Amino acid sequence: MTFHCPWQWLRPCALALALAACHGADDDERTEFSSSPQDILQLPADSPKFRYIREAEAVPEQRPLLEPLTGKITYDETRTARVSSPIAGRVIAIPAQPGTVVHVGTPLLELDSPELGQAQAEYAKATADLKLAEHDFDRLKKLYENGIAPHKEFHQAEDALERARSEAERSRLRLANLGVQEKRPDNHFILKAPIAGVVTERNVNPGMEVRPDLPTPLFVVSDLDRLWVLLDVFEKDLAVIHPGQDVKLTVPAYPDQWFPAKIDYIGKVVDETTRTVKVRCLLPNPEGKLLPSMYASVEVESPPDDKAIVVPLTALFTEGESDWLFVSLGEGRYQKRQVRVGLRLKKEAVLLEGVQPGERIVTDGALLLRSELDTAADDGKQKP
């Protein structure tokens, strides 16, 4: 009679159970973001709760990189001129008013300036002295060459001619720097626009006495077809921005319109108090809708091909350490689904896993559906 040890058939059974346990662990890993049948809720067609539920299609969009930044629109200083008078005088006319479109050389202001008259008189005197010095030099040169005039007098005439030339050139350059063409004394000075653009500020009135050392410019002329946007970016966010990167902004005056801009410069110093760095963006303004000193909300954009599904925070709720939302299956059926969240902003979150493009997400009413699902689960447990 042969005796069989019971452990011989127990070993294959234990191996089978171990393999089954391993396969079960693999299935759990593969279904980490799937939902069980108990996570599906069916609302009756006449349920009043539909009034509190809002849905939206999951559509990939450009991935946000950081929280929207607050920026300030300013003049493009490379296209802006703050114009002061280079000479003292009294205002007699102001041809340019705020909002006036000007070109290079357009008159902005007219002055009665005794200082200009003096400069013109000095130029006239220097010109006359130069002619006299040239005449004396030519005369003494001939006498010196014929042995009549001594060498000393010839060199004195040569030095006097050089001084007269220098003085005439100095007085000519003085008038040229003032932009004065008329050399005769008339005290009439015209302040002209140095660049083309729009007169955005005027700080002068008729009859006002102006001087070159006034602290405030008389006019500000700027080309408003392009502006700057100045941002303060926290040092922890510097890794996601770079010069040439696209941004978009909106302003309170046009809350439904986005305006494109581009990062032009990133500061080289961190503010020790705020731990931020100054960032400058170039902002095209061809329609002239945007104005200096406007505040803007600025979003830094990722590359065009870097897209993700972004949902409002109202669509998400937390259970344990996981994030969940509801996906609409149609005809009043909703599926509770676990998702993985990447960047979480103040009003929205970027999904990394759990939702496919084209699915409909519950954006409002998720907590209501969760409560209904919990109630349905409790009722199922109480049934015998």
pLDDT for 295-330, tens place per residue? 999 999 888 889 999 999 999 999 989 999 999 999
Per-residue pLDDT of the chain (384 residues; tens, 9 = 90+): 343 444 343 344 343 434 444 444 444 443 344 455 678 999 999 999 999 999 999 999 988 899 899 999 999 999 999 999 999 999 999 999 999 999 999 999 999 999 888 888 888 888 888 999 898 888 887 877 777 778 788 788 888 889 989 998 898 888 888 877 766 678 889 999 999 999 999 999 999 999 999 999 999 999 999 999 999 999 999 999 999 999 999 999 999 999 999 999 999 999 999 999 999 999 999 999 999 999 999 999 888 889 999 999 999 999 989 999 999 999 999 999 999 999 898 889 999 999 999 999 999 999 999 999 988 776 655 555
Distance of CA 291 to the CA centre of its chain: 13
- Cβ count near 240 (within 10 Å): 12
Residue carrying the six token digits 């205002």: 91
Supply the pLDDT for residue 21.
Answer: 45
Report how far residue 196's alpha carbon sits from residue 184's, in angstroms, rounded to the nearest whole number.
Answer: 29
The whole-number pLDDT of residue 384 equals 52
Buried residues in 334-364 as b, exposed as e (16+ CB within 10 A): bbbbbbebebeeeebbbbeebbeeebbbbbe
Q: How many degrees, rounded to 5, is the angle at CA 325 between CA 322 and CA 328? A: 150
Q: Distance (Å, rounded) from C-alpha 384 to C-alpha 381?
A: 8
The whole-number pLDDT of residue 35 equals 52
Q: Which domains does the chain have, with CATH numbers?
A: 32-64+307-382 (2.40.420.20), 69-78+224-300 (2.40.30.170), 116-185 (1.10.287.470)
How many C-beta atoms surround the C-beta of residue 113 within 10 A?
A: 23
Coil, strand, or helix at residue 75? strand
Query: What gap in Å lies between CA 377 and CA 382, rounded to an integer?
Result: 9
CA distances from 185 to 113, 118, 121, 176, 181 (A): 10, 7, 6, 14, 11
In this predicted structure, what is the pLDDT of residue 34? 47
pLDDT of residue 110: 94
